[in-house]
Amino acid sequence: MDNLIKDIDILPAEEAQACEYKVTAEENTGKSKKLYIESYGCQMNFSDSEIVASIMKENGFDTTATFENADVIFLNTCSIRDKAEQTVRKRLQQFNQIKSSRPDLTIGVLGCMAERLKEKLLEEEQLVDVVVGPDAYRDLPNLVLAAEDGQKGVNTFLSREETYADISPVRLNSNGVSAFISIMRGCDNMCSFCVVPFTRGRERSRDPHSIVKEARELVAKGYKEVTLLGQNVDSYKWSPEENNKARLNKKEGENVQIVNFAGLLEMVAQVNPNLRIRFSTSHPKDITDEVLHTMKRYDNICKYIHLPVQSGNSRVLNLMNRTYDREWYLERVAKIREILGEECGISSDMIAGFCSETEEEHRDTLSLMDQVQYDFSYMFYYSERPGTLAAKKYADDIPLPVKKRRLQEIIEKQNQLSLSRNQLDIGKRQEILIEGVSKRSDDYLKGRNSANKVVIVPKGNLTIGQYVTVKITDCSSATLFGELLS
Ligand code: SAH
Ligand code: SF4
Ligand code: F3S
């Protein structure tokens, strides 16, 4: 394998943290107006943009990949760290320059920053026309119409019921192979550092039948992989009663069945044996043995768990209000290894330099990483968010250079671990799903194995969307390289 092909396709840890965004793809179905959406933040936000595109499509908009061609520009924003908000502010300034020469252009801010700042955004960003929070997207067409008449609008109502279950998302940036399915919205955990409960509202689960229906439709369109999305998928819980639909669904004397996450996983796994299932995010306090056993029972449920630990020290975890300690977390990991074996991929999120974290406590994070042997991590330094429990209760007292140095140590540790975990795969046979062309060379394709690792293979006669068995021949800390086994 030539060096050119190496260290590509997955970004090194530092770069992976840079705020990435996705834009809408070009779609031309003859509608009269054009919508451009730029999405920041997590997979849930990308998934929401597909719902937004669907709502706008019903109201006369095709999507465009070129903002210069757009009648409406939406920024679907993220508030998770200060840097995420700063990136959006800069982008807004660029769009506002265009707007000064094109007053007919409508600019909307959606998502978490819209929810956090509400009317204040209209005051601070004079050229923004509409501000719409994550539960109010059905109101977008009205607000855009009003904006075209010169009326600015804000809707940041947070709902206890909205799941957009009936909306069939327009797949944006799709490779035609993998798609996201939102299974729940909001979050009821109150991790002290986190803004999400304030920007996304209360947790609610989506009707499992609508989820299965969406998975079936994706299979019919040729998709091979779905990722079930929620901030805390293990607390997924649905019953007709709980979701206030008892009147519609329950007959006299009928037992109302509650569907938990393990049950939902099983329902989706049974849609089609050729449809791979992934899910994110699992919460260490909630992940059950039942979920792990369900993963084991179905070959098409990928053996990969994103299980963010945040810190390896129990005092810090307590301050973070994560409601588990180091021992609990390590017991969950031991259970994963016991039920799903060494090959199951495990990844994490880490926060360096949380309020009052000592050097010794920081080293506990490094030692926990060694113990778990993570395949991959998303790593951040603590960024205080206004309104959160930590902002109210604890001083953000770790100096920035110290936060950055601790983060760097965490990143270096993860790079070593990723490399040694990847080396264990060399010589193994693995089934991969081909997702697309390798970024550097058209002669190679990239696929993913069950553990969520990117595998680069020579193109040969392979096609995108195909399952193939490969032998792993080489690796970097970010990527595996394989050859086709006939
Ligand atoms: N629901 C997921 C996380 C969603 S936010 C979970 O509970 O794991 C994604 C990640 O961003 C978090 O896991 C955390 O590592 C990071 N994060 C959240 N708030 C942060 C903050 N204030 N500063 C730095 N990182 C933060
Ligand atoms: Fe934030 Fe915690 Fe909810 Fe994750 S579980 S979204 S970190 S509050
Ligand atoms: Fe960001 Fe909101 Fe997701 S704050 S991480 S876009 S839920």
pLDDT given for residue 250 in this prediction = 52
pLDDT digits (tens, 9 = 90+) for 186-226: 999 999 999 999 999 999 999 999 999 999 999 999 999 99
User: What's the CA-to-centroid distance between 414 and ligand 3, angstroms?
Assistant: 24
Question: Is the Cβ atom of 231 under 6 angstroms away from ligand 2?
Answer: yes
Looking at residue 20, its pLDDT comes to 61
The secondary element (H helix, E strand) that includes residue 480 is: strand 480-484
Q: Does ligand 1 come within 6 angstroms of the Cβ of 108?
A: no
Q: Which CATH class is domain 178-238+259-423?
A: alpha beta
Q: Find out whether 455 and 481 touch, Cβ atoms under 8 Å.
A: yes
pLDDT of the residue at 16: 35
Query: Which residues of the chain have a pLDDT value below 50?
Result: 1-19, 245-248, 253
Query: How many C-beta atoms lie closer than 10 Å to residue 149's C-beta?
Result: 6
For the Cβ of 201 lying below 6 angstroms from any atom of ligand 1, the answer is: no
Distance of CA 372 to the CA centre of its chain: 22
Contact by Cβ (8 Å): 303, 450? yes
Q: Strand locations in 273-393, DSSP E?
A: 276-280, 304-306, 345-352, 376-381
- Which two tokens mark 38? 């730029």
- CATH number for 429-484: choose from 2.40.50.140, 1.10.3720.10, 3.40.30.10, 3.40.50.720: 2.40.50.140
Distance, CA of 152 to CA of 144 (rounded, Å) = 9
Ligand nearest to the CA of 81: 1
Structure token digits, residue 343: 């090959």
Distance 401 CA to ligand 1 centre (A): 20
Taking only the tens place, the pLDDT of each residue in 310-360 is 999 999 999 999 999 999 999 999 999 999 999 999 999 999 999 999 999
* Ligand 3 mean position, distance from CA 9 (Å): 24
pLDDT at 11: 34
80 touches ligand 3 (CB under 6 Å): yes
pLDDT of the residue at 29: 81
Instruction: Establish whether domains 13-155 and 429-484 are of one fold.
Output: no
CA of 15 to the centre of ligand 1 (A): 17
- Please count the helices (runs of H) and the strands (runs of E) in the chain: 16, 22
CA distance 339 to 466: 28
Do residues 96 and 125 touch, judged by C-beta distance below 8 A? yes
Neighbours of 258 (CB within 10 A): 12
Q: Is 41 in the pocket of ligand 3 (CB under 6 A)?
A: yes
Q: Where are the domains of the chain?
A: 13-155, 178-238+259-423, 429-484
pLDDT of residue 19: 42
pTM of the model: 0.93
Q: How far is the CA of 318 from the centre of ligand 1 (A)?
A: 15
Please give the distance, rounded to the nearest whole angstrom, from the Cα atom of residue 4 to the centre of ligand 3.
35
Give the residue, out of 193, 347, 354, 414, with the most ligand 1 atoms within 8 A of its beta carbon, to mutate for a pocket test. 193
**In the block, which residue shows the tokens 């630990």?**
309
User: Given this model, what pLDDT does residue 243 score?
Assistant: 61
Cα(182)–Cα(185) distance, integer angstroms: 7
Which superfamily is assigned to 13-155 in CATH? Methylthiotransferase, N-terminal domain (3.40.50.12160)
Strand locations in 281-370, DSSP E? 304-306, 345-352
Q: Residue 457 has what pLDDT?
A: 97
In angstroms, what is the span from residue 237 Cα to ligand 1's centroid? 23
* Tokens matching residue 130: 């509409």
Q: Is 42 in the pocket of ligand 2 (CB under 6 A)?
A: no
Identify the nearest ligand to the CA of 306 by its number.
Answer: 1
Nearest residue (by CA) to ligand 1, atom 4, is: 231
- Select from 79, 135, 182, 187 the residue to mutate for testing ligand 3; criterion: most ligand atoms less than 8 Å from CB: 79
- Among 133, 186, 180, 123, CA closest to 155: 133
